[in-house]
Amino acid sequence: MDAKLFDHSHTIRASLLSGVSLFSTAVSACLALFYLIQLDSILTGAIHLVFCAYSLHIYFLAKKNQHTERNVRNFVYLIILIITYGNACLPLDNYNLLWITLCPLLMYALLDRRHGFYASIAIFVLQLCILGYRVFHVGDHSVAGLLVNLISSYCTVWLISHIYEGNRRDVEQTLSSLASRDALTSTHNRLALTTAFGHFERHRHDESLSLLIIDLDFFKSINDRYGHDVGDKVLIETSQLIMQIVGDDNLYRIGGEEFCVTLFNQSVDHAETVGERIRHLVASNPYVYNDQHIHLTLSVGICSYQPGHHLGDLLRMADKELYRAKESGRNQVRLCSVPKEELPTTTVSPQQEAHL
């Protein structure tokens, strides 16, 4: 989840893609005019015109952040084909091979590490085959020196690009984990919940969402009686118990002893069943620390997403059901039945929060 929701690579690649595609559009347009008018080469000019049009299309998609991975890969493959065609059919010199040696940097920058690796292999093998054919079969021995230069320079740039992209991705994933995880329980935090809900809103289409707010009953008394160290252990163990049912991706710690669970594409009835399973598991779990036995229960409030709801609306609705569960004796699950038009606009009062 962290990699999906906190993926800054997508933003970086979108910016780079727009710049590269705009540059490719300008260069391809100039080359197309040069081959069509100056050299009267219709085929080569037409190829550059097609690439120019597609590059312009990619540029507008990237500027609007509407491009897909498939668009980017097609763009990269077209670049490979253009370079391959040039080296196969046009005169060769060090200037031509300069563009080839820059390809690994471009492949890794526009694609992820795995696809960048494959694309770099593809273009390297293609160029070696073309240059080898021109040396040994066509008899173009002037290419032999270029072939040696290509192998040495390309492998150097390829190795640097591969190592750099791997290190950059590791650092990004580490920072994303630090930003999205709770330091005590290692569950996701409120920032991750906000980001996940934003992702859901942008891509939900026909997806549904049920949200559970879970609060440990009388947790303050555990801290007061056994100490905060034991209280921390209770929180950690409880989060692990909840993850046994809902998994790591769906659990968030949003307060001191308050957790949130997101269930995508699950009915409200199923969410209620999940809430009951969590409640029974925690209530029957033996919390034992230093020969001290602690009996713990929790209360759950559940609501479901309706078009137009914001995250704050869902949290208020679920909190209201949680408060009802607390008022009714705790250790129970309450399901929200408030329709969209009756969406609550008030929050729980300080007196109510103290009572919880």
Active site residues: 257
Residue 216, phi then psi, degrees to nearest 5:
-75, 135
Paired strand residues for 335: 302
Residue 300, phi then psi, degrees to nearest 5:
-130, 135
Q: Which residues contact 100 (CB under 8 A, 6 or more apart)?
A: 83, 87, 123, 127, 150, 154
Query: What is the DSSP secondary structure assignment for residue 208, as one 8-state letter?
Result: -
Considering only CA atoms, which of 68, 64, 34, 65 is closest in space to residue 49?
34
Cα–Cα dist 102/38, whole Å: 28
Q: In whole angstroms, how far apart are CA 321 and each of 213, 214, 265, 314?
A: 9, 10, 21, 11
Q: In whole angstroms, how far apart are CA 197 and each of 120, 202, 271, 335, 356?
A: 37, 9, 17, 20, 26
Cα–Cα dist 146/104, whole Å: 18
Structure tokens at 13: 């690649």
Question: For the chain, percent helix, then strand, then coil, each to nearest 5?
Answer: 65, 10, 20
Paired strand residues for 213: 260, 301
Considering only CA atoms, which of 238, 243, 278, 262 is closest in space to residue 311?
262
